[in-house]
Amino acid sequence: MEKTHRPIPWLSGGLAALVGLLFIALTVPNYAPHPIPFGRILAIAFVPALSIFTLGRRWIVFDWLAWIFLSVLLASVFL
C-alpha cells in the first residue's frame, strides 16, 4: 500500500525564500566586508525556506515554525 505524499509547498517555500532575500538585503550592507557574519546571515535567512521545502512537505508544524522564525527575523530588523 503506497503512502500518498503531499505536494512540495512551492508557494510557501518560495515566499519564505523571498522573505529571506528581503532580510539579507536589509542586513548585509552592514556586514559586507566580513565573511563569517555574512555566512551566518545567509544560513539564518535560508534555513527556514529549506525546512519548508523539505520538512514542511511531511509535517506541517515545520512550516509554521519556519514562518514564525522568519516573522521574528523581520520584526528584529524593523524594530
Structure confidence by residue, pLDDT tens digits, 23-66: 998 888 877 678 888 889 899 999 999 999 998 888 889 999 99
Is there a domain that residue 55 lies in?
yes
Q: Is 2 domain-assigned?
A: no
Residue 3, domain member (yes or no)? no
**Confidence at residue 1, expressed as pLDDT on a 0 to 100 scale:** 59
Global pTM reads 0.83
Residue 32 in domain: yes
Which of 3-12, 17-26, 27-36 tops mean pLDDT?
Answer: 17-26
* Higher local confidence (pLDDT), 4 or 40: 40
The domain total for the chain is 1
Rounded to an integer, what distance in angstroms lies between the CA atom of residue 20 and that of residue 75? 13
Residues of the domain holding 38: 10-78
In a domain? residue 4: no
C-alpha cell at 58: 511531511
